[in-house]
Structure 1
Amino acid sequence: MLPLARSLLALAALLSVTEARLANPFCSDLHLGKDDGYPKNNYVDFTITVSGGTITIPDKCSRPGNKIVGESISICNTPNSKPEIWQALQTEYHFKPNFALFHIDCPSNIAGCDRLKVEIRQYCEMVTAPH
């Protein structure tokens, strides 16, 4: 391979990695529990629309023989502001992640904060063998 071709190939690879790492500055993400080691087909993706404050996220893994073991949440208010999200119930003795209650901080006087789209992926784990 010619040196110029190698250089262009290296530059293209560097640019694609850089683009993949750029995060949306108007989004917040939260990851709880396990998000690896689960069966690749045992997860549920869904969205909800909220207006901030304390929210409850439904458990979509609770099918017979399954339990929720992890959750990834993404919330954006592009191009107005960056909403913040954190677990609503946190104590120093509460080690198990709470996958249901969260608090979203997005001031009501900022455009878009009254209708925030929350993208959720819940990771499920089989707890009993199928019959």
Structure 2
Amino acid sequence: MSPLACSLLALAALIAAADALKPNPYCSYLEMGQTEGYPTDNYVEFTLNVAGGTITIPDKCTRLGNMIIGEAISVCNTPNSKPEITPALQTEYQFKPNLGSVHIECPSDIDGCDRLDVEITQYCSMVTANHIFS
């Protein structure tokens, strides 16, 4: 391949990479809890298919010796609209975000709002029990 062709190919790759770094204008993103400083090998990624409204997110971290400490949630409706995602409250009297529940606003009369893919990353932490020595 000629030097000019190599340079053009490299330029095309750089332009494609720059386009890939732009955020999708049809996506909303929400972080709750601790999403930084977690052990980098202790997280779970999964996808849910929902129709919007208040959704319950299963806790995939909690297993023997682990607990959930944070979540990063993304929802898109490309190319139709941008769904809005907000934390759901635990109860109407406690205004505290709940890691297991979010509200997704996407009008049902817009194409794609009845089948949204929600991408979830849950950050986990090891739990250690107190040791009693006699």
Q: Distance in 1 between matches of 2:127 and 2:48?
A: 27
2:8 maps to what in 1?
none
User: Which has more radius of gyration?
Assistant: 2
Following superposition of structure 1 onto structure 2, how do residues 41-60 of structure 1 map, counting pairs within 5 Å? 41-60=41-60
1:6 maps to what in 2?
none
Between 1:40-49 and 1:14-23, the stretch displaced more is 14-23
Task: Give the gaps of 5 or more residues in structure 1.
Answer: 1-10
Identity, in percent, stands at: 62
Matched, 1:98 2:98: yes
The SS at the match of 1:101 is strand
| Aligned partner letter, 2:68 | I
Structure 1 runs of 4+ off > 4 angstroms? 14-18, 90-95
Matched, 1:35 2:45: no
**Paired positions, count:** 118
Following superposition of structure 1 onto structure 2, how do residues 66-77 of structure 1 map, counting pairs within 5 Å? 66-77=66-77
Compute the displacement of 1:93 (Å): 6.1
Q: Distance in 1 between matches of 2:72 and 2:87?
A: 12
1:8 maps to what in 2?
none
Compute the displacement of 1:33 (Å): 1.2
Q: Distance in 1 between matches of 2:65 and 2:119?
A: 25
State TM-score, norm by structure 1. 0.79
| Aligned partner letter, 1:128 | T
1:24 maps to what in 2?
24
Distance 1:17 1:79, change over 3 A: closer
State TM-score, norm by structure 2. 0.77
Q: Distance in 2 between matches of 1:108 and 1:94?
A: 27
